[in-house]
Amino acid sequence: MIKLNIIIFLLMSLLGSSGALRWNTTATTVLSSSQILSPSGMYIDSSNTLFVVDETPNAVVWKLLYNAGSATNVAGVYQSISSASNRFNYPQDVYVDPSGNIYVTDYYNYRVQKFASGSSTGTTIAGITLSGGSGLSQFNGLRHMTGDSNGTYIYVTDYYNHRIMRYSTSSTSGTNGVLMAGNNGAGNSNTTLYYPWGIHYLPSVSNDLFITNYYGHTVMRWTPGASSGYFVAGVPGVSGQSPILLNYPMGVKIDTYLNIYVADTSNSRIQLFCANSQTGITIAGTGQSGNSATQLNAPESVAFDSAMNLYVADAGNSRVQRFVKF
């Protein structure tokens, strides 16, 4: 009986971590090029509402209710680029806290804008508008961000400074952030980041940050504030299409089993790395760019709804695709 229980436990563990993770490889389009031109970062809230950054030239954040036919603009002014508090210049990513406040990384304005729930005017909570740099209160090319479970802090990839910064969601412009990872220059060692792009934090599962190195072709796992991390996907400094390699990865997500999902951008595919495995499985896309329902073209980010349906910002095709979980 003891042996049988052990076997059942092992089978359940395997099914939970990888065996039950299958998606239809033919996607449906939830946002098309008739509305979105350059999808970048995405966030799905507890109501399965999808928030998507439309990078350029639209420079807005779209909100799409679950199974709705069209999206509404909830941040930014459509095709109006500036440093005004209600506008963006090349927005990158979006995060929504449990109170419904919206946060947007505003790349060329060197700031993170917070839009209180229901407001169309943002306030700067991190960075200094139009003042890029390497100080703790500054950014130099901010990309993606992630938040904690209660909306207290955001963690931002500071791209050209090769570091991860943490800011309070109640902070104000010019306030120093707290260094969480990197800041040792660019490199492929375990103490450096190499143009960090994607980031995800799921504190209910792990206290570690998961970070993509765009030019390093890797994913790193890094405890906030530690002097080093370690590689969990990809081979440092090596790009390619084999199952163990990545090619300029952007977005990253983890699930409750610590499986890692990567937007393998230049391979036009989404890779799943099961917990403790560095061999990837292609779950969306074919590895060849294209615009069919089974293909992707330079995907930038991934997100999941409560049913673990997979959403992909298919940037090169100006659309957001949904792959239904079996």
Q: What tokens were used for 205?
A: 């599962």
Kindly tell me if the per-residue pLDDT of 96 is higher than 50. yes
Total domains in the fold of the chain: 1
In contact, 134 and 161? CB cutoff 8 Å: yes
Full 3-state SS string of 105-132: EEHHHCEEEEECCCCCCCEEEEECCCCC
Helix (H) / strand (E) containing 165 = strand 163-168
Q: What is the mean pLDDT of residues 82-88?
A: 99
The percent of residues in the chain predicted with pLDDT above 90, rounded, is 93
Q: Write out the residue range of the structural domain in which residue 144 sits.
A: 2-323
Q: What's the mean pLDDT when you consider all of the chain? A: 95
Which position has the token pair 């890797």?
218
- Residues 250-290 have pLDDT tens digits of 999 999 999 999 999 999 999 999 999 999 999 999 999 99
Kindly tell me if the per-residue pLDDT of 14 is higher than 70. no
Kindly tell me if the per-residue pLDDT of 5 is higher than 90. no
Q: What is the mean pLDDT of residues 61-68?
A: 97
- More confident site: 248 or 15: 248
Q: What is the mean pLDDT of residues 133-158?
A: 98
Rounded to whole angstroms, the Cα distance separating 196 from 188 reads: 11
pLDDT tier, 21 (very low <50, low <70, confident <90, very high otherwise) = confident
In contact, 202 and 195? CB cutoff 8 Å: no
pLDDT tier, 27 (very low <50, low <70, confident <90, very high otherwise) = very high
In contact, 260 and 232? CB cutoff 8 Å: yes
Q: Is the peptide bond before 203 cis (omega within 30 degrees of 0)?
A: no
Kindly tell me if the per-residue pLDDT of 192 is higher than 70. yes
The whole-number pLDDT of residue 309 equals 98
Q: What is the mean pLDDT of residues 233-257?
A: 99
Kindly tell me if the per-residue pLDDT of 18 is higher than 90. no
CATH number at residue 39: 2.120.10.30
Full 3-state SS string of 1-44: CHHHHHHHHHHHHHHHHHHCCCECCCCEEEECCCCCCCEEEEEE
pLDDT tier, 9 (very low <50, low <70, confident <90, very high otherwise) = very low
The percent of residues in the chain predicted with pLDDT above 70, rounded, is 94
Spatial strand order in the sheet of 196-201 = 196-201, 209-213, 218-222, 230-233
In contact, 313 and 55? CB cutoff 8 Å: no
